[in-house]
Amino acid sequence: MTNDPLIGLPTQEKALFDAFRNMASGKNADAVMGACVNLLINAIRQREPTRKEAEACWDTLFGRGKSLLLENHYDSVTGKRRTVFPFTQVLSAPRINADDEVRG
């Protein structure tokens, strides 16, 4: 059985995740992912003085993230999402106002 990667996070990382999760709850998934990427870009830009170091940091973060995503959240045999973890964040599609009338 796999371990939930959100359990055992360092205190500051968990607090930031919870704060962002609360702000992102119910928002469009594309907007949430865009905000996350922009946060990463900004944090890396402030920390890394050179392009080479920034690229290495990006590659390390996304390599680690890809491993966590695929190993913990998707079945390697079926390729389908595992349902072993509860969803702690709910994202929603943009609201669509559709005409309910059937036109003859």
**For residues 58 and 43, what is the distance between their CA atoms, to the nearest angstrom?**
10
What are the phi and psi torsion angles at 74 (to 5°)?
Answer: -130, 135
**For residues 82 and 50, what is the distance between their CA atoms, to the nearest angstrom?**
39
Q: Above 90 in pLDDT, residue 49?
A: yes
The pLDDT confidence band at residue 87, using thresholds 50, 70 and 90, is low
pTM: 0.65
**For residues 25 and 77, what is the distance between their CA atoms, to the nearest angstrom?**
31
Residue ranges of domains in the chain: 11-73
